[in-house]
Structure 1
Amino acid sequence: MSTSQPKTAIVTGASSGIGLATARALSDAGYRVFGTSRRATSLPGGAVTMLTCDITDEASVAALVERVRDETGRIDLLVNNAGFGISGGAEESSVAQAKDLFDVNLFGVIRTTRAVLPAMRAAGSGRIVNISSVLGLMPAPYMALYAASKHALEGYSESLDHEVRGQGIRIVLVEPAYTRTAFDQNQVAPDAKLDLYAQARADAERTLRTVMATADAPEVVARIVVAAATATAPRRRYTAGKVARQVSLLRRFAPAGLFDKSLRKQMGLAG
């Protein structure tokens, strides 16, 4: 394989937000980038090749990976970014709705990861960057299912990193806090709403809209992804943005009772 051949990257959920910014940043860093979205789309400039892929469909994922390998002969980097959230009390979502969320946020990652690992193993190198969240390391009232999916992603990623490190492959987590994307607008409403949660749900959604006004730009996260992808000896976790760093430090070092009290105060929760 020619050493002058550019490295190949796949970025899921690349049509907007963090995924789009990441795809463009990786292209600027010299990668040949393939972005994915569920529906056919194209990006101006031609720096990123957009392909359709449904990460909840194993055949669709397999077809994506096969096409990239056919075109480039290699897969050096996978960025698992696609995901969505549900805003509401955990009790307000049916098990079916919870499964739908996990099918994208966790099992979608597992599908794409399993699909690229053979190519990376054959090459003796590879990097998988999973976009997690600070909600993967702290509670998230009225976003419990999203937080649960990110907690699961963190456990999966760190465990898998130990399994494949000897094969020359590393798994890295990037943990943003609030990021200026359409995430808050695209959150799914719970499918089994209860009146007793109506006010708290509305308050939580209003708080999210407020913090989004001053949230980090997606390019902040994209720069961290590039750093995680290109580091010779990557860390297992990278926070993205000032708020994410602060939350990570507080979660790690603040007494549990103090952290709990601060969280409830910020969320306006009684008791």
Structure 2
Amino acid sequence: MSKVVLITGASSGIGKSIGAFLHEKGFTVYGTSRKPEQVSGSVFPLLELDVTKPESISAAVASVIERCGRLDVLINNAGVGITGPLEEIPTQELKAHFDTNFFGPIEVMRAVLPQMRAQKSGLIINITSIAGYMGLPYRSAYSASKGALYLITEALRMEVKAFGIQITDVAPGDFATNIAAGRYHAPLVAGSAYEQSYGQTLQMMNEHVDQGSDPREMAVAIYEIIQQKQPKVHYKVGAFMQKFSIVLKRILPDTVYEKLLMNHYKL
């Protein structure tokens, strides 16, 4: 019997690539989108789900269980980007960002855990980010939300292991997706103390995404993780230097690492 997989944020980008690849491999895949009726060409069914609305989450999870009688794998992929000087990002935007990137995945996990506990099996894969391993200039909120999800993964993994449930996270680097188009960008303010440095950093970030790796690389990595009996706590997927930056952060003095980042972003 093929494993039943639920992927949040599967209408485009990494989520869509993962869903299509797992569908090719014979998995029973259900993706989600806030507006599935506006998505065409998906090779797997899309259910309506907004991670900021608990009733939407409950309905989508219940629909999968009703159709299949089980839920084997949750891939918590839905998320958004945010950029800007922390001083100039409106507080309501910071809260909205955490509602999607942090509290949303928690609510989805809460929705699937009872079913997985009843099955005495299940795998949850949280999609974090290499940016979550470090504080990046003008991506403070994004780094913080992904870093928080990274730590939640570690903690919850220990809480549910006795029930036969596995939890891991996968931190991608830059991939060629439409995430830049969906980000909240704090506006460049003429005369702001951050106008020049934020402007050049924003351009650099968008170029990194445009030149990013093929999302299918993430799909292959996820497929391989699902095959493992004992997934590791954390995985990183991306360009060598992006993954190596995490190693450097561990071994270098903080001020040296900070200088490397500032030189990279020309700050």
Query: Which TM-score bucket, shorter chain as reference?
Result: over 0.9
Q: Does 1:146 align with 2:181?
A: no
**Structure 1 equivalent of residue 90 of structure 2:** 94
Unaligned runs of 5+ in 2: none
Name the SS for the 2:70 alignment partner.
coil
Q: State the Cα distance separating 1:263 from its structure 2 match.
A: 0.4
Separation of aligned partners in 2, 1:207 and 1:49: 36
Separation of aligned partners in 2, 1:139 and 1:19: 25
* 1:68-217 mapped onto 2 (5 Å cutoff): 68-190=64-186, 195-217=192-214
Name the SS for the 1:69 alignment partner.
helix
| Structure 1 outlier segments of 4+, above 3 Å | 191-194
Select between 55-64 and 86-95 the one with higher mean Cα deviation: 86-95
* Deviations 1:92-144 (CA, angstroms, capped at 9, x unpaired): 11221111000000011011000000000000010000000011111111010
Q: Is the 8 A contact 2:177 2:210 kept in 1?
A: no
Separation of aligned partners in 2, 1:19 and 1:13: 6
Q: CA RMSD in A?
A: 1.6
Name the SS for the 2:35 alignment partner.
coil
Name the SS for the 1:106 alignment partner.
helix
Picking from 230, 244, 248, the partner of 1:233 is 230
Q: Is the 8 A contact 1:97 1:191 kept in 2?
A: no
Q: State the Cα distance separating 1:225 from its structure 2 match.
A: 1.5
Separation of aligned partners in 2, 1:192 and 1:198: 6
Separation of aligned partners in 2, 1:191 and 1:254: 34
Q: Is the 8 A contact 1:120 1:126 kept in 2?
A: yes
Separation of aligned partners in 2, 1:207 and 1:191: 16
Separation of aligned partners in 2, 1:241 and 1:49: 28
Q: Does 1:21 align with 2:17?
A: yes
**Structure 2 equivalent of residue 263 of structure 1:** 261
* Matched-pair identity in %: 34
Number of residue pairs aligned between Structure 1 and Structure 2? 264
Name the SS for the 1:263 alignment partner.
helix
TM-score, structure 1 as length reference: 0.93
Name the SS for the 2:174 alignment partner.
coil
Unaligned runs of 5+ in 1: none
Paired letter, 1:35: G
Q: Is the 8 A contact 1:69 1:75 kept in 2?
A: yes
**Structure 2 equivalent of residue 220 of structure 1:** 217
TM-score, structure 2 as length reference: 0.94
Q: Is the 8 A contact 2:84 2:139 kept in 1?
A: yes
